[in-house]
Structure 1
Amino acid sequence: MNLNNCRFFLLLLLPFASFCQENGKLVLSLEEAETIFLRENLQLLAERLEIPKAEAEKLQAKVWPNPSLEIDEVNLWTTAYQKRTGEQLPGLFGSDSFGRFRQISAQISQLFETAGKRRKRMELADVSAEMAQSYLEDFLSSLKTEFRKTVFSFHFHERYSDMLERQLTSLENIVNAYQHQYDAGNVNKAELIRLQASLFSIKDDLIEERKTINKLTKELVVLLNFPDNTPLSFRDVYSTDFKYQLPFNYTLDYLQEQAILNRPDLIYSKLEVKHSQKELALEKARAVPDVEFSVGYDRGGNILQDFIGVGASIDLPFFDRNKGNIKKAERAVEQQNFLNQNKLLEVKEEVRQHYKNVLEAAGFFETINVEYTQDLDTVMNAYTEYFKLQSINIITYMDFLESYIDTKKTILENQQEYLDDLEDLKYSTGIEIENP
């Protein structure tokens, strides 16, 4: 790790005394990693800027239309013919001659919106701001779920590869010993080939695991906004006592109710209905013509000199009464109502599905405990020693080795599956459900 990266970690990890490094890797707990993720993730930082953008739209919706100033009928020169035939005016700025043949008119006008258009735009902007906040919450929930599941997957492959490395080291020692025994003519070649084949198989599995770890490391480094090539490791991710279960005080009905109340994307769907209703109200208001009032000055183009007059203008809704946009907005309201009803049904069924998945995943661990896994490791070590002492034959040893690797992998896979299912349930309900 270069000096810049070291400085980065010193600054980044200063608030967390529990961070440590092992074998050149930065070792984090899930809670520590999530704290960094929520603070440093670039996608999240970018998405949070949508909130001030929505607030700016609310500010813009409050402003009145600008007044309009028009200056007209200014003659920059006067011909001799115009002077002979035209009417002389009083001079300008106290002069007897300047401006006697200069014409000018000016008008200032202000548009006044009718039917509460400004207020309806403000209400529409308020709903848009609520939608931006709801979208951010849904984005955060989705990204957090993705992050946690990536950590779970990383930890599975990390633990599994560690187990493969231990068995690979043990098997390499056995193969080397068997090679010496074969060279001395004490064992047959078939046994040596069988051991070498198992060795190659474990090496191949280990290579694939390391490739997967490299891929997941890349994803986590990006999610955590760490410098590239940051070596990572995680601790305290999987339960050491295998007590995986759903908190049964959370019934399915309760979780579905919480999802309806708290799930951000469902809230967003409801806000889309409200937004379409506000747009419909605005389109109906646009059918009412706005009124523009004006005050004008004319120096010499009127029957009265230095004429000042007021005026008003309004569109006559003979042809365009905004009927097309109103019908379009009405259909949009109906459309959003259907989509919201469909979203509600989807959410309830998602909660039901993930609830059942967690129960199924938790059922795997009903008969698994710490003693079982410890006994499994102990028996594997014993089988290795027995085989070295030739107390058991190669078939018995290889069968148990394969069974041991498959069993350890299955236990790790089910731990990851349970935690993944629990994260899916958290996301589908919109609440944090603690793993007991």
Structure 2
Amino acid sequence: MQKRKIYLLLFIICWGLSKAQSQTQDTLQLNLKQAERLLLENNISLLAERLSIDMADAEVIQAKVWPNPTLEVNEVNLWTADYQKKTGEEQPSLFGSDSFGRYRQISAQIEQVIETAGKRKKRVELAKVSTEMAQSYLEDFLLSLKTEFRKTIYAFQFHESYAKMLDRQLVSLENIVKAYQKQYDQGNVNKAELIRLQASLLSIKDELIEERKALNELNEELVVMLNLPDQTTLSFETTFNLDNEYQLPFNYTLNYLQEEALKHRPDVAISQLEIQRSQKKLNYEKAMATPDISLSVGYDRGGNILQDFIGFGFSIDLPFFDRNKGNIKKAEFAVQQQNYLNENKLLEVREQVRKNYKNFLEAAHFFDDIDTEYLEGLDKTMEAYTEYFKLQSINIITYMDFLESYIDTKRTILENQQEYLNDLEELKHNTGLEINIPN
């Protein structure tokens, strides 16, 4: 009975371990929308970048704060010598004591700086521009992150599809090599044909290994982007669909896309905000030419002709030598500089959109004469050639030539699918628009 319990316990443990292992090896299947939702919720870099908004808001709060008042206490004598008592003037005692404080002296002063020329208001305006820039920086970061993420998925889909195609051909070729080995052992085929088949088999195996390495690397990048458990294996639904007409799926003109890019791109907004910030910086530097006023109130015990003297005062810098001319001139040059940089940015944006627009059209034209029926026919022809070769209806040269041509053609089509989607993402990125293609 005890042995049965032990065996049962071992069975449960082994079953649990095997189940846990199978769960860790499960593949997480996602479509593009699901993946992007996870990206926006989990990406650590994005979460960190969002804190820049809070940091900028904190700068606005700090800019609104008044300068702290200054308390100054001095002329405190901690002890009194007998000579000072004989020659000094006796003061009233402190804290109700008969003797304490009769020969104690102290003075204190509180000073408050009053900023003039609206410096505080201008500093707040400057901080608010920084907050708007932080928002634009976040939008620019998010746009770049989504573009990079999608292009990584497209690369993953390319290597995954290509690896599956190689795997199918590898299985088929392995069966042929095994059959040829038997025929060779029986003396029915020559060794040169067997060697060529084996060489092709090794070549496909080697290429398949490289594709799986590429998939492992891309899987790692995507897991990090999505902040998933480190043992997660990913797979994505096909994004590219040949049933679409792969030409511009909208009637947008180049000029329209360029104008929309100037309206929606975050880096254009940042460039224009840089002009605003430099202008507000100039206003602040001009205000700094006006001296601030310091108001003070002071108390003096034993150091004045009046007992327990309370007096008021003020101080102000006399702008004889420093009128902040250098900083003002520097800020003026900064405004001119930002205007030039903004002009250059607008030109860059227009040219980037033009380039991406043309690249997208070129990529789309590749599929003008390719449709789903062509690809299905190509796969069926490959299957037919394999059967013909098994039945010895065609020779090895014809079969191997078509196999190599088939693999090259499939790779070319998959590469152009990836290039098309990448060009579409670049067009989205450089226009700031979410351009959708028909499904």
Scaled to the shorter chain, the TM-score interval is: over 0.9
Q: Report Cα offsets for 1:112-133 as digits up to 9, x if no partner.
A: 0111110011001000000100
Does 1:243 pair with 2:249? no
- Aligned mates of 1:327, 1:136 — CA distance in 2: 32
- Aligned mates of 1:91, 1:390 — CA distance in 2: 125
| Residue among 357, 363, 376 paired with 2:359 | 357
Aligned residue type for 2:435: I
- Aligned mates of 1:74, 1:273 — CA distance in 2: 54
Q: Is the alpha carbon distance of 1:359 and 1:216 closer, same or farther for their aligned partners in structure 2, counting shifts above 3 Å?
A: same
Name the residue aligned to 2:105.
103
The Cα RMSD (Å) is 1.7
| Residue among 187, 199, 203 paired with 1:185 | 187
Aligned residue type for 1:157: H
Does 1:402 pair with 2:404? yes
Residue 272 of structure 1: CA displacement?
A: 1.1
Aligned residue type for 1:342: N
**Structure 2: gaps of 5 or more residues:** 1-15
Q: Report Cα offsets for 1:314-364 as digits up to 9, x if no partner.
A: 111222222222222222222211111111111110011111111111111
Name the residue aligned to 1:230.
232
- Aligned mates of 2:378, 2:357 — CA distance in 1: 31
- Aligned mates of 1:417, 1:151 — CA distance in 2: 12
Name the residue aligned to 1:65.
67
Please say if residues 269 and 340 of structure 1, whose CA atoms lie closer than 8 Å, have aligned partners that are also in contact.
Answer: yes
Aligned residue type for 1:81: Y
Please say if residues 157 and 238 of structure 2, whose CA atoms lie closer than 8 Å, have aligned partners that are also in contact.
Answer: no
Please say if residues 299 and 305 of structure 1, whose CA atoms lie closer than 8 Å, have aligned partners that are also in contact.
Answer: yes
Name the residue aligned to 2:437.
435
- Aligned mates of 2:238, 2:184 — CA distance in 1: 45
Name the residue aligned to 2:157.
155
Name the residue aligned to 2:11.
none
Name the residue aligned to 2:338.
336
Aligned residue type for 1:116: G
Does 1:345 pair with 2:352? no
Residue 138 of structure 1: CA displacement?
A: 0.1
Residue 156 of structure 1: CA displacement?
A: 0.4
Please say if residues 242 and 365 of structure 1, whose CA atoms lie closer than 8 Å, have aligned partners that are also in contact.
Answer: no
Q: Report Cα offsets for 1:89-130 as digits up to 9, x if no partner.
A: 222233342222111111111100111110011001000000
- Aligned mates of 2:130, 2:257 — CA distance in 1: 28
- Aligned mates of 2:38, 2:290 — CA distance in 1: 53
- Work out the number of aligned pairs and report it: 420
- Aligned mates of 1:405, 1:348 — CA distance in 2: 39
Name the residue aligned to 1:415.
417
Aligned residue type for 1:387: F
2:296 alignment partner, SS class? strand
Please say if residues 242 and 370 of structure 1, whose CA atoms lie closer than 8 Å, have aligned partners that are also in contact.
Answer: no
Compute the TM-score of the two structures, normalised by the length of structure 2: 0.93
* Pairing of 1:23-422 with structure 2 (within 5 A): 24-422=26-424
- Aligned mates of 2:134, 2:100 — CA distance in 1: 62
- Aligned mates of 1:245, 1:141 — CA distance in 2: 24
Moved more, 96-105 or 264-273: 96-105
Shift >3 Å, 4+ stretches: none
**Structure 1: gaps of 5 or more residues:** 11-20
Aligned residue type for 1:262: H
2:366 alignment partner, SS class? helix
Please say if residues 26 and 232 of structure 2, whose CA atoms lie closer than 8 Å, have aligned partners that are also in contact.
Answer: no
Q: Report Cα offsets for 1:248-292 as digits up to 9, x if no partner.
A: 321111111111011001111111111111111111111111100
Compute the TM-score of the two structures, normalised by the length of structure 1: 0.93
Please say if residues 242 and 368 of structure 1, whose CA atoms lie closer than 8 Å, have aligned partners that are also in contact.
Answer: no
Q: Report Cα offsets for 1:217-266 as digits up to 9, x if no partner.
A: 11001001011121111113221525323223211111111110110011
Aligned residue type for 1:88: E
1:295 alignment partner, SS class? strand
- Aligned mates of 1:65, 1:295 — CA distance in 2: 16
2:312 alignment partner, SS class? strand
Please say if residues 293 and 314 of structure 2, whose CA atoms lie closer than 8 Å, have aligned partners that are also in contact.
Answer: yes
Name the residue aligned to 1:15.
none
Aligned residue type for 1:26: L
Q: Report Cα offsets for 1:31-62 as digits up to 9, x if no partner.
A: 11111011000000110011111111110100
Please say if residues 292 and 317 of structure 2, whose CA atoms lie closer than 8 Å, have aligned partners that are also in contact.
Answer: yes
Residue 204 of structure 1: CA displacement?
A: 1.3
- Aligned mates of 1:197, 1:147 — CA distance in 2: 38
Aligned residue type for 1:427: H
Please say if residues 172 and 199 of structure 1, whose CA atoms lie closer than 8 Å, have aligned partners that are also in contact.
Answer: yes
Q: Report Cα offsets for 1:155-207 as digits up to 9, x if no partner.
A: 00000000000001101111111111111111111111111111111111111
- Aligned mates of 1:134, 1:240 — CA distance in 2: 36
- Aligned mates of 1:419, 1:288 — CA distance in 2: 58
Q: Report Cα offsets for 1:6-43 as digits up to 9, x if no partner.
A: 99xx9xxxxxxxxxx9x831111111111101100000
- Aligned mates of 1:202, 1:377 — CA distance in 2: 17
Aligned residue type for 2:412: T
Aligned residue type for 2:256: Y
% identical equivalent positions = 70
Please say if residues 70 and 107 of structure 1, whose CA atoms lie closer than 8 Å, have aligned partners that are also in contact.
Answer: yes
Q: Report Cα offsets for 1:411-430 as digits up to 9, x if no partner.
A: 11111111100000000001
